[in-house]
Amino acid sequence: MTVAIVGGTGMLGRRVAAELEARGHKIRVLSRHAAEYRVDLATGDGLGTALAGCDVVVDASNSSSRKPAGILVDGSRRLLEAEAAAGVAHHVCVSMVGCDQVPMSYFRVKADQERVVSQGAVPWSIVRSTQFHELVGTVIAAAGRWRVLLMPRGVLQPVACADAARVVADVAEGGPLSRCFTVAGPEVSEVRDLARTWRKVTGHRAALMSMPVPGTVGRALRSGALTAPRPDVRGTTSFADWLRSVPG
Partner 1 sequence: MTPGAGRRGGDAFAQAFEAQRPRLVRVAYATAGSVAEVEDCV
Please report, as ranges, the residues that interact with partner 1 according to CB under 8 A. 62-66, 68, 96, 102, 104-107, 131, 135-136, 138-139, 142-143, 150-152, 154, 156, 191, 211, 213, 215, 217-218, 220-221, 226
The phi, psi pair for 98, rounded to 5°, reads 90, 0
Nearest residue (CB) to partner 1, 125 versus 227: 227
Half-sphere exposure of 117 (CA within 13 A, CB side): 28
Of 160 and 217, nearer to partner 1 (C-beta) is 217
Residue 231 dihedral angles phi and psi, to the nearest 5°? -75, 165
E-only strand ranges, 71-161: 90-96, 124-129, 148-152, 155-156
Strand partners, 211: 152
- Closest distance to partner 1 from the beta carbon of 194 (Å): 9
CB of 235 to partner 1, least distance (A): 16
Closest to partner 1 by CB, 27 or 151: 151
> What is the closest distance, in whole angstroms, from the C-beta atom of residue 155 to partner 1 in the complex?
11
- Least Å from the CB of residue 46 to partner 1: 23
CA of 143: how far to CAs of 91, 138, 152, 208, in Å?
A: 37, 9, 11, 10
122-233-9-123 Cα dihedral, nearest 10 degrees: 0
Give the nearer residue to partner 1 in terms of CB position, either 211 or 246. 211
Smallest distance, Å, CB 66 to partner 1? Answer: 6
Q: Using the minimum distance from each CB to partner 1, give the nearer residue, 227 or 237.
A: 227
